[in-house]
Structures are given as structure tokens and as C-alpha cells.
Amino acid sequence: MPNLTLTRKRTSVTGSLASFEVLVRKVRETILFGQQRIEWQKVQTYWKTGQYINKHIILNKNKRADLGDRTIEKLAERIDIDQSVLQRCKQFHEKYPVFATWQKLTWSHFRLLIPIEDDETRFELTERANRGAWSTGKLESVIRNELRYAISGPPGPKASTSSDLRLLKPKLGILYTYRLIESKPVQANPGRLKVDLGFRVHQRSLQCAVI
């Protein structure tokens, strides 16, 4: 758990509370400290809940194919919690199997990050959001602009629709420089070099110059 201890200057009680400005500072610090603890506890609680659910499913995965959805349904009914909450917890642990300490992120941030399928992109945005202390509005704006991802609400078990499609931000390389890849064993002419044109389009290389 992160060290959220706030540094306070030691002053006498009488002197501190005699000044209204000092009172404002102390109350603000106390409320901020409490809110930070509450938010972090919520994040930890949801991640731990997801860990328990996923471990149970793994240990019983040979019993039935729909064990995951059935577990969420039965658990929600037994402890009287909405299925969507448990589903998000499950996905939270799946997307962040090794949980790091991002002290500046709240559960609202992670609800925006969980739907991002690409692991590298998701963790990159997580680090950027934490490092820059982004608000949830800032994070949502970056996701929309960089990934062109239509945020339609928290993830759930429903099937994906066209509005869920995501386009990753293109990464520009060096002009007139191309990447050569080998054909896979299941493809024609396995082992032959091809030019990677991007967007999963490959062209057979007729003549290659090694630089």
C-alpha cells in the first residue's frame, strides 16, 4: 500500500487553531489524506476481489465451459452485489495481473483503462496518467483522441459491437526504411523474406539489400 503520510509542521495546538488559515490548511490536508486512503482502498479491494474470482475459476475450469459467467451470476446473487461490479473486478485483475502502485489513480481511472485490449498501450497510458496526475476527464480525452476509442460505459460480458472498435495511434518509422519479416511455416514459401507494409500487409521481397 502506498505511503500517503502527509508531512505536517509541528506547532502548538493553541497556536495552530488560533489561526483560521492554519485551520483551513489542517482540515484540507486531513480531508485530502482521508480521500486518498478511501480511493486507494477501493482500488485494492476491487483488484483483490477480481483475484479471488479468477483463482476460483482457474481451479474449477474443467467443470463447465460457462463457469466464469455462472460464477459471477451466483456470487452476485449470494452476496447481493450487482453483476457488473463483480465483472469489472474480474476484468481488472485480468488486465493488471501484477498490480503496481499507481498512487495518483482512482478506480474511476481504471474503469476507463480496463477496456483497452492492447497490453502495451494500456500500461503506457496507465503510467502517463499516474505520472501526470491526470483527471479522469483528461484520461478519457486522451483515450478518445489517441486511440479513437468510443467509451460507451464500463466493460461487461456483452458482445462487442461496431462502436467498440479501437484504432491504435500509428507509430511512424524512418522514411524509406522497411522492416523485413520471414514467412510463417503455415504460409507459402516459409522462411522467405517479405517487406512489412503495415496494417498486416506483406509483400514478397524480390531483391533485398542488407544495410
Give the DSSP letter string of 64-91. Answer: -TTHHHHHHHHHHHHHT--HHHHHHHHH
Residues 181 and 163 in one domain: no
Please tell me which residue, 149 or 91, carries the higher pLDDT value: 91
pLDDT in the model for residue 1: 43
Local structure of 195: helix, strand or coil: strand
Mean pLDDT of the region 154-183: 51
Residues 32 and 122 in one domain: no
- Picking from 70, 101, 132, the residue at the C-terminal end of a domain is 101
Evaluate whether residue 2 is within a structural domain. yes
Query: What are 72-130's pLDDT values in tens digits?
Result: 999 999 999 999 999 999 999 999 998 877 888 999 999 999 999 999 999 999 999 99
pLDDT in the model for residue 46: 95
Residues 120 and 74 in one domain: no
Residues 14 and 79 in one domain: yes
Evaluate whether residue 111 is within a structural domain. no
- Picking from 49, 78, 101, the residue at the C-terminal end of a domain is 101
Under a CB-based contact definition with an 8 Å cutoff, are residues 143 and 149 in contact?
Answer: yes
Residues 61 and 150 in one domain: no
Residues 136 and 195 in one domain: no
Evaluate whether residue 182 is within a structural domain. yes
Residues 91 and 181 in one domain: no
Q: Which of 130, 99, 131 is nearest to 112 (CA)?
A: 130
- Residue positions counted in the chain: 211
The grid coordinates listed for 48 are: 483483490
Query: What are 171-208's pLDDT values in tens digits?
Result: 555 655 656 666 555 445 555 666 665 544 445 544 44
Residues 44 and 91 in one domain: yes
How does residue 166 score in pLDDT terms, banded at 50, 70 and 90? very low
Residues 96 and 4 in one domain: yes
Statement: residue 160 has pLDDT above 70: no
Residues 31 and 61 in one domain: yes
Q: What's the pTM?
A: 0.58
The answer to whether the Cα torsion of 116, 121, 123, 127 is positive or negative is negative
User: How many separate domains does the chain show?
Assistant: 3
Residue 202 belongs to domain spanning: 172-211
